[in-house]
Every structure is written in C-alpha cells, then in structure tokens.
A and B are shown apart, each in its own frame.
Chain A
C-alpha cells in the first residue's frame, strides 16, 4: 500500500521534475542535432564539460547565470568541433561522437586536477535555490510539485516551448528539418546544408552544456568525476522515445524522472530485501525497453547519419 501512496505525494513529483530537468535540456539538444541529420554522441562529454565549466565559473566568483552562459558557450564550442568533423569532413558520426565525449570528459578532468591538485572533498559553491512562483506556488498539490523548483527547471520548460516553436513555426526550423530529411532538396531551395547543420549542432550542444550545468549548479553544489553518469546516453534514448518531437521528449523525460524518483523511494522501502544496484539499473534498463517499444513506430529523420556532399548522389 505504501508503494502506491508514494505516487500521490508532491515531493515525488517535485523530485521527478528535478531529475528530468537536465534530461530535458540534453534531449532537446540531441533532438535539434538529429533533426538536422547529425547524431551527436558527444552529448555525454558535452554535458560533463558543461557541468564542469559552469561550476568552475561560479567557483571562481562568477554569477550563477554567468556559469550557465559559460556552460552553453563551451558546449557550443565542442559542438562546433563535432559539426566540422562530421558535416563538411563527412567523418563517421559514431566514432567522432565517441571521440568528442572522450575529449570533453578528459579535458574537464585534466583542468579540474590542474586547478585543484590535492583536494580530498570536492569544493562547494552556493547553488541555485528553489524559487516559488507567486500564486501558482501556493496551489495545493501542483504548487509544491511544479512551481517550487530552481530557475533552471523553469528555463528547461521554456526551452521546450521555444524549440518547438523554432522547429515548426520559423523558416530556420523548416531549414533544419529539411536538411535532416532531404538535404538535396534543401540545397535546391537555396539552403546552405552545411551551414544549417553546423549551426544546429552548435545550438543543440549549447543546450547540452546547459543541461550539464544543471547538475553542478542546481542539483548538486560541487563537481566530481563521473557525475554525468550516463545521462547523455539516456537522452539519446529519450529522443527516440519522443519520436524526435520536443513535446513528446518532455513527456518522456518527466516519465523517466518519475520512474527514477519512484525507485529512489522504493529503495528506502525495499532496500533491505532487494540489492540497491537493481534499482540503479532501472534507468538504463528502462531506456533499452523504451527503445525496443518505440522501434516499431520510429520515423528517423531520413538523412540522419548520412553525410551530405554537394553534387553527389
């Protein structure tokens, strides 16, 4: 009975949305890249470097929002590197993405050790505090669950709306979707395929960087090794789960957050009987199951992972 009661507590839903926030940013970022026809496996590393760069900025005395901006810029820089290698150079998107993840992660760790040669406990910062939205925050049930989050979470929700509007209601979004579906016809329309893809990957990577910064500036208050812990890969699964649509991706991320928050509470109830590692496996198993379930209905962007070379058929 206690297992069901948990589902109706505001704290569970608040935790679900908190857990979902970095995933929303990451999933949106990956979604933009893939909609333009580029798989970005650099996401895991870009989130790590975003988490690190944002945190370091704040630690060195920067404003929290400056940290978020720095995370976005650093993310975009790594996105640019990925984009140049896979779009104009046409390198394997798989291998390059893994390479970007390795590079971004190792550069973060190297710099961390350079700045803090001998620290035993990770240095801390003052993270974002929850902000209670006036009026809405007082609504019983929904208020504590949704409207008493940190500012970055609200930004995540805004980002979903902005990305959806951008993709479906603006010429830029049309260009992104066209180069991801049929680059040759985009070229015929006078769209510069390479430029659109590079810009899309940079924008997407900036969002991934912000998603990373949520981990160090909002969820925790310090940076430690392996703290991204597969969130990037989960985002890639969430993009498929959300059928490359921002709204559905948001839904997927929240559903995922809900599961994760729920298993954390189950762990406290059943932790003595069931090994805790089984609970920790849940997110990854869930992602794989989601991929299988969605596999029958997926409509990949047609040109995903297909390099475009002008005049080549």
Chain B
C-alpha cells in the first residue's frame, strides 16, 4: 500500500471527506452505545435535543462554545506557524489568575475601563506562559510539545497553591476558591436571565480579527511561511524566531482570554474546576476547523454541542457522558486522516 499525490483537486471531495470523517466518529460511538445496551438512535436523538433542541439548549451550547473558540483560536494560530502549543490549559488558568488578581478590587475602575484592562492582563498572563516554552524552543531547541504539556501540570498546581494561599476567599468556608470579581468586572448577559454572556461576542470578534491578521497582515503571511517551511522562510529573510515569539504572544493571549471569559462571564470566581479540559479540546477544535479562524467558531459550537448534548443525554439515558470525549477524539483522528486523503490517494499495490 502506498500514497500517491492527487493531481486533480475536487471541491466535492474536500467537502465530502470531512463529513465522512464525522460520520465515522458517529459510527464508532454508535457501536460503543450499543455495547452499553442502549439504542444509538435514541442516544443521538437525546444528544441532539439536549444541545440544539430548545432555546435553553442552544444558549447552553453557545455558552460552552465560548471558551472553546478562544482555545481553538489559540491552537489554530500556533499550529499554523508549526508552534505546537499543547498548553492551552495552563494559559487559560494563568489568564484566569490574572483576571482574579486584578478584578477582585485591586483596580477600582468603572466597567467600560475595567473590562478591557482585565482582557489585557489575562492575555498577558497567557502570553507569558507560552513565551517560556517558545523561548526554550528557539534558544535551546527544546521540543515545545513536552514543555507546554508539562506546564499544564505546573499551572494547575500553582493555581491550587494560590487558591489555598493568597487568593483564597476568606468567606469561602474553607473551599479552595477565590473571591468573586467585582460587579464592574462582570460581563453583561446577552439575554437577561440566561447564561450566555458578552464573552461569546468577544470570541467571535477575536476570530474575525485573527482571520484579518492571517489574510491581510505581514505577520499573518510570515506565520504561515514559517509553518510551511522554516528553511525557506529563513532564506526569504523572515526572522523566524521573532515570528515564533509573536505567534506565542498571540496564541497564549487567546487562551488567556478563555480564562478571562469563564471567570468574568460565567463563574464569577476562580476554582480548580474552571476548565474541564478546554485547553485540550481547543486542539481538536482547531484541527476540525482545518486551522481556519472562522471555521474555529463552527468547530467550537460542534464540540460544545457534543459535550452539552452528552451531559443531557447521560442524565436520562444512563450512557456515560464520557462518550462525548470519545466522539471528539475519534473525530480528531478521522478528520486528520480525511484531510490527508483530500491530497493523496491510497494505492493497494
């Protein structure tokens, strides 16, 4: 068996193969659901109803998609430049820490000033976390995959330490949680009485901004050039290390915003369960979106729908909600395979 580059590019193939990849993920999960003794059709029906079947469900899905758009963008931006940022989780948490440090009364500012200020500090926090592995990569040649992964563990322990130390809420009855951010820091709800908040709008704007940077700016061009072929980029006079550093700032900052929006938009304070793996899920979102910033929005909503739907389904049908994570993981693997098949064909010979 071998691969042969395709000579003709068909639009139909580029649409059908990714769809086939998602269908494959559904089939795998259907088998797993059958193992549990439930009916796949009923389970998928419940998941669809729980994620998109009512106004409440749709809003819940969009709320869950908000941090995923940020972490998805973070991964997409980095992966385009072949900077393998697997540390979205750490950047998210440090972004949240910065938000809580500055947002719980340290800066007594009115809301229109405080909200942008908190965005900036959260981005700085996330950017700083990714800058260290990126520096180690460019300076010492240390593989950033491993270092960013290790930083995820360091960050969560750091947060745990802070929540039992300086950031601990004295009124928190001993729970490891921070104080609530002040009213001026909290994001307004988009619809009164519902959970969807302004962070979602910011996420959409961020996606559009990244798309513009990618398409229209020199930095976007340089990032893609570095990602496609580092050697060629060097020959073309692109300062590769500086581009990677800028990419790290942008990517880490975006992941930091995920922490900011979860704290100020949804939870109000920082706890150790702020993120159920949004950083890791962001990688899947980015790959499902084919690293396209606008595609990230759609992919984030899809992944959020799977998670929200699985939560709702497991309450009624009794199939473990971990089926969502299986579906997301299989989608990732089948999607990268499908992408390869749009460019190559298999020859059995």
Contacts and interface: CB of A to CB of B under 8 A. Distances in A.
15 contacts: A85-B333, A89-B3, A90-B3, A98-B283, A99-B284, A102-B329, A103-B330, A106-B322, A106-B326, A240-B146, A275-B161, A278-B157, A281-B157, A288-B151, A291-B136
Given A96-B333, A98-B86, A277-B160, A41 B145 contact: yes
A81 B157 CA distance: 33
Q: Which range contains the number of B residues in contact with the other chain?
A: 35 or more
Given A85-B333, A91-B336, A114 B154 contact: no
A59 interface: no
Contacts of A277: 157-158, 160-161, 164
B312 interface: no
Interface of A: 41, 81, 85, 88-92, 94-96, 98-100, 102-103, 105-107, 109-110, 113-114, 117, 229-230, 233-234, 236-237, 240, 275, 277-278, 280-281, 284-285, 287-288, 291-292, 295-296, 298, 309-310
B142 interface: yes
Contacts of B318: 117
Contacts of B329: 99, 102-103, 106
A95 B145 contact: no
B323 to A, nearest CB: 6
B129 to A, nearest CB: 13
A237 B320 CA distance: 34
Nearest to B321: A113
A309 B3 contact: yes
Contacts of A100: 333
B336 A92 contact: yes
Interface in B1-56: 1-3, 32, 35-36
A110 B31 CA distance: 13
Contacts, number: 128
A91 B32 CA distance: 26
A95 B325 contact: no
B332 A281 contact: no
Contact of A233 (B32, B136, B146, B284): B146
A66 B146 CA distance: 33
Interface of B: 1-3, 32, 35-36, 84, 86, 136, 140-143, 145-147, 149-151, 153-154, 157-158, 160-161, 164-165, 280, 283-284, 287, 318, 320, 322-323, 325-326, 328-330, 332-333, 336-337, 340
Given A103-B326, A285-B154, 18 more contacts: A85-B333, A96-B333, A98-B280, A99-B333, A102-B329, A106-B322, A109-B322, A113-B322, A117-B318, A229-B153, A233-B149, A233-B150, A240-B146, A277-B157, A280-B157, A281-B158, A288-B151, A291-B146
B3 A88 contact: yes
B149 A281 contact: no
Question: Of residues B151, B164, B325, which shows the largest number of chain A Cβ atoms within 10 Å of its Cβ?
Answer: B325
Contact of B164 (A229, A240, A275): A275
